[in-house]
């Protein structure tokens, strides 16, 4: 094979993706054309019968994830499965980078993210088997276990963490106990005391530390070398083994010369101490997840078919089961109250500090604490569909995601260990060349190997993200991924959809104005037409009517304008100015009838009958949420421009905006125009956060740089948004931006420390200004300081 062809073959990667939704040959050819247009795709073949797309591409130019997204943009589905794995044996950023590299070349993996801080991996599969993923990680020199049950794994992992900490402490105590005599010998010599350990005693003590307590460094170092890579453990092993080996040779062969046993033992002991502190600190970063997992009780009392209470595992509760919740107990499932009254503490789920009253018909959230009343609840969402499970999954997804800045860290980590080894060799050679001797050169090279720290680099970003997303969740803010946090840094404009975000969203009929006849009959007619609509105005009218409604025929909705329908043979239109213009109503007449009502902040809808003209109008109004004005003021104080987006007429919209303190108003915007308004702001240089809660807000949430959905709104809005607020409190918008910005500041601080540490430490070590013992202490504390700095985020409070 020619050299060029061989190089191309080595650089080429092949994936076979399943594709759903193809119905004919034009579908498969359309996908092929789309794929072949992509830069980096060498060949693409789509099989309609097998429903697969075979793609050969250059991984240096395009990722499997990009190919998948390209197929989906053509209107087809590439089904995928997300596998979570627990990984044992990672010690630094080089380890996580090695695993990701191994997974990236595995056919059938479209994306892989490895988190060093919590020792997990999140792998997105298209057609690869989970067993293949486990095997690939094992080939990289690590152990992997598939996480089947997140909650069960969380409890088991916490137990393993505790056992590992105990084991690490014993190992540390063993190393320290054997190193202290070596320190005593060194100190006695420095102070002139006539006491010394025999050289053989030093050898025995140092050997026990090196290959007993230090065994935990040799195993992963050997695995890394076998996998053709390197890690921090390899640096420690090379450095300490060199110091121990020189000293052991001198003792065994009876040669004169200084012994470095205390240096090697001290390095191992200090690094073990640092690892122990680091592990303890890392446990704190996962505290939010563990707290959430503890919220759901183990058991639930269910009413059996014969009416008796039966205690069963909470995981066994099915949708439709009736659950009894006594005073002081935790709610086992999401459900609806069917009997009794109480109040519930939902603070750990929504961040709402005050108890929430619950009565028949109200929804309850699994994990909440019941107050003084006893209630019966019909289960509506159980297992993975429950609110608590979704919150846990959302937080875990965010914690396993990577900020864009992490790409730089990964690139550095991939070459860090080889570069450090080269620097150590250059240091040794340099000292020999200047005439200092090979022994001085070796000790300085050992110092270089020991002080280099890829750990701090690897922990800088994930620990901050884990603590930041955890503390945000504690306050009722769910952040989808690390990229959302990074986007929050430059937000300059916040756009609120008015109804349900700044206002209560519960419109009420303020006044009824029939052109003639009975007011009650007029209202009944309007309600009869609208009882097929879910629009807030329609619901307000329906709530105001107590009489029996007439059936509606030929009902039709005009999005953003109104509705029409036939009631008892009468063809009725109900809507705003835009709809009235379509049916030919005079705009001047509308102005005369509505000015006074709209100046009071009301929205006016008109009612027209085909063949008869105007029948009258109805004024509906909403009221601001109690904290809306303060929330807007806080955003303005942060230097952000606030906008209110609404379909209401400009006059009533400006009245509401004035009450709220919003200076910029986008009024009379149709549902399909919301995304265009966001795009317009972006076109003039704004970075936009969009806040909404309805289905028709989803396109605008997707268009915005950050989409923020109220948790009290629709599922569509929440799935589209990058940030979800677990309660309908507008003050959480500023909180979401602030906690994101605070997390990003921590990431930058951590990365600055990790980089500056290595930039300063390596030259100092190579120049002979540091001893191996000091290098070991510095290296151990560098990663501890990064984790500790991230943990300071736990002090963040809403409103700060």
Residue 207 CB partners (closer than 8 Å, separation 6+):
244, 248
| Residues facing 108 on adjacent strands | none
The Cβ of residue 558 has, within 10 Å, a number of other Cβ atoms equal to 16
- Exposure string for 622-636, b = 16+ CB within 10 A, e = fewer: bebbeebbbbbebbb
CA-to-CA dists, residue 332 to 58, 156, 263, 727, angstroms: 50, 20, 56, 20
d(C-alpha 711, C-alpha 702), whole Å: 16
Ramachandran category for residue 328: left, alpha or beta (phi over 0 → left; psi -120 to 50 → alpha)? left
d(C-alpha 691, C-alpha 682), whole Å: 15
The Cβ of residue 247 has, within 10 Å, a number of other Cβ atoms equal to 22
SS3 176: helix
SS3 345: strand
Tokens of 426: 């250059």
Cβ contact 578:560 at 8 Å: yes
d(C-alpha 208, C-alpha 171), whole Å: 11
| Residues facing 379 on adjacent strands | 335
d(C-alpha 475, C-alpha 347), whole Å: 8
| Residue ranges of E strands in 309-371 | 309-313, 322-325, 334-339, 342-345, 356-358, 363-364, 369-370
| Residues facing 358 on adjacent strands | 342
Q: How far is CA 302 from the centre of its chain?
A: 35
d(C-alpha 723, C-alpha 395), whole Å: 11
Nearest to 328, CA basis, from 373, 370, 298: 370
What DSSP letter does each residue of 260-290 carry, written as one string?
-HHHHHHHHHHHHHHHHHHHHHHHHHTHHHH
SS3 706: strand
**Residue linked to tokens 């420390």:** 753
Tokens of 73: 């943009």
Q: Which of 497, 648, 693, 697 is catalytic?
A: 497
The Cβ of residue 23 has, within 10 Å, a number of other Cβ atoms equal to 8
CA angle 779, 781, 784 (to 5 degrees): 120
SS3 351: coil
Q: What secondary structure letter does DSSP report for 334?
A: E
SS3 98: helix
Rg (CA), the chain: 33
Q: What secondary structure letter does DSSP report for 60?
A: T
d(C-alpha 541, C-alpha 552), whole Å: 15
Q: Is the dihedral of CA 71, 74, 79, 80 positive or negative?
A: positive
Catalytic site includes residue 676: no
SS3 108: coil
d(C-alpha 542, C-alpha 531), whole Å: 7
d(C-alpha 688, C-alpha 184), whole Å: 63
d(C-alpha 165, C-alpha 177), whole Å: 18
Cβ contact 725:733 at 8 Å: yes
Ramachandran category for residue 515: left, alpha or beta (phi over 0 → left; psi -120 to 50 → alpha)? alpha
Please list the active-site residues.
497
């Amino acid at each position: 094979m020619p050299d060029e062809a061989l190089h191309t073959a080595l650089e080429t990667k092949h994936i076979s993706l399943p594709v759903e939704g193809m119905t004919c040959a034009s579908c498969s050819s359309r996908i092929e054309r789309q794929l072949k247009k992509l830069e980096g795709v060498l060949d693409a073949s789509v099989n309609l019968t097998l429903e697969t797309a075979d793609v050969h591409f250059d991984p240096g130019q395009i990722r499997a994830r990009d190919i998948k997204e390209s197929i989906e943009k053509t209107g087809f589905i590439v089904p995928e499965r997300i596998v979570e794995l627990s990984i044992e044996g990672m010690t630094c950023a080089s380890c996580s980078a090695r695993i990701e590299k191994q997974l990236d070349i595995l056919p059938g993996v479209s994306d892989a993210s490895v988190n060093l801080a919590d020792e997990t991996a999140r792998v997105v599969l298209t057609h690869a088997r989970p067993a293949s993923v486990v095997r690939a990680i094992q080939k990289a020199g690590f152990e992997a276990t598939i996480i089947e049950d997140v909650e069960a794994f969380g409890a088991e992992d916490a137990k393993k963490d505790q056992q590992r900490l105990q084991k690490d402490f014993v190992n540390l105590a063993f190393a320290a106990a054997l190193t202290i005599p070596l320190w005593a010998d060194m100190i006695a010599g420095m102070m002139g005391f006539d006491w010394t350990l025999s050289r053989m005693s030093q050898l025995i003590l140092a050997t026990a530390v090196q290959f007993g307590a230090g065994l935990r460094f040799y195993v992963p170092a050997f695995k890394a070398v076998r996998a053709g890579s390197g890690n921090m453990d390899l640096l420690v092993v090379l450095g300490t083994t060199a110091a121990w080996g020189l000293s052991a040779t001198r003792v065994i062969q009876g040669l004169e010369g200084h012994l470095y046993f205390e240096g090697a033992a001290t390095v191992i002991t200090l690094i073990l101490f640092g690892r122990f502190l680091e592990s303890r600190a890392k446990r704190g970063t996962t505290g939010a997840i563990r707290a959430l997992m503890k919220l759901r009780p183990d058991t639930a009392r269910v009413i059996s078919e014969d009416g008796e209470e039966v205690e069963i595992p909470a995981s066994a509760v099915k949708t439709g089961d009736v659950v009894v919740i006594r005073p002081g107990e935790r709610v086992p499932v999401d459900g609806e109250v069917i009997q009794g009254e109480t109040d519930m503490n939902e603070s750990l789920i929504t961040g709402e500090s005050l108890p929430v009253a619950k009565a028949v018909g109200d929804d309850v959230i699994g994990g909440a604490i019941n107050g003084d009343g006893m209630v019966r609840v019909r289960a509506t969402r159980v297992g993975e569909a429950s609110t608590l499970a979704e919150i846990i999954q959302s937080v875990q997804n965010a914690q396993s995601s990577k900020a864009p800045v992490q790409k730089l860290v990964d690139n550095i980590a991939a070459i860090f260990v080889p570069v450090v080894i080269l620097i150590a060799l250059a240091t040794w050679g340099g000292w020999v060349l200047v005439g200092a001797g090979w022994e001085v050169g070796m000790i300085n090279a050992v110092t270089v190997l020991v002080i280099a720290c890829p750990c701090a680099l690897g922990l800088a970003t994930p620990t901050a993200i884990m603590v930041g997303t955890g503390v945000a969740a504690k306050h009722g803010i769910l952040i989808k991924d690390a990229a959302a946090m990074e986007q929050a840094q430059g937000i300059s404009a916040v756009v609120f959809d008015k109804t349900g975000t700044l206002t209560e969203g519960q419109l009420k009929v303020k006044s009824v104005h029939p052109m003639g006849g009975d007011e009650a009959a007029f209202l009944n007619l309007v309600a009869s037409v609208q009882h097929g609509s879910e629009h807030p105005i329609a619901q307000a009218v329906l709530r105001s009517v107590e009489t029996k409604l007439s059936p509606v025929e030929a009902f039709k909705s005009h999005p953003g304008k109104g509705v029409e329908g036939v009631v008892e043979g009468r063809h009725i239109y109900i809507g705003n100015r835009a709809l009235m213009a379509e049916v030919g109503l005079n705009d001047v007449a509308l102005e005369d009838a509505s000015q006074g009502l709209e100046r009071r902040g009301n929205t006016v809808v008109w009612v027209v009958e085909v063949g008869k003209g105007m029948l009258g109008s109805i004024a509906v109004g909403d009221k601001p949420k109690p904290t809306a004005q303060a929330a807007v003021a806080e955003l303005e104080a942060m230097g952000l421009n606030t906008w209110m987006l609404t379909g209401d007429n400009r006059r009533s919209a400006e009245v509401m905006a004035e009450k709220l303190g919003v200076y910029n108003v986008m009024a009379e915007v149709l549902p399909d125009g919301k995304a265009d308004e966001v795009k317009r702001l972006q076109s003039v240089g704004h970075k936009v956060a969009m806040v909404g809660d309805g289905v028709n807000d989803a396109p605008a949430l997707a268009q915005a740089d950050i989409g923020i959905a109220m948790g009290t709104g629709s599922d569509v809005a929440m799935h589209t948004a990058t940030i979800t607020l677990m309660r309908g409190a507008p003050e959480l918008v500023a909180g979401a931006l602030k906690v994101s910005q605070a997390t990003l500041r921590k990431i930058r601080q951590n990365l600055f420390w990790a980089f500056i540490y290595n930039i300063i430490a390596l030259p100092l070590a190579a120049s002979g200004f540091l001893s191996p013992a000091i290098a070991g202490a510095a290296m151990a504390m560098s990663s501890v300081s990064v984790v500790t700095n991230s943990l300071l985020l736990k002090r963040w409070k809403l409103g700060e």
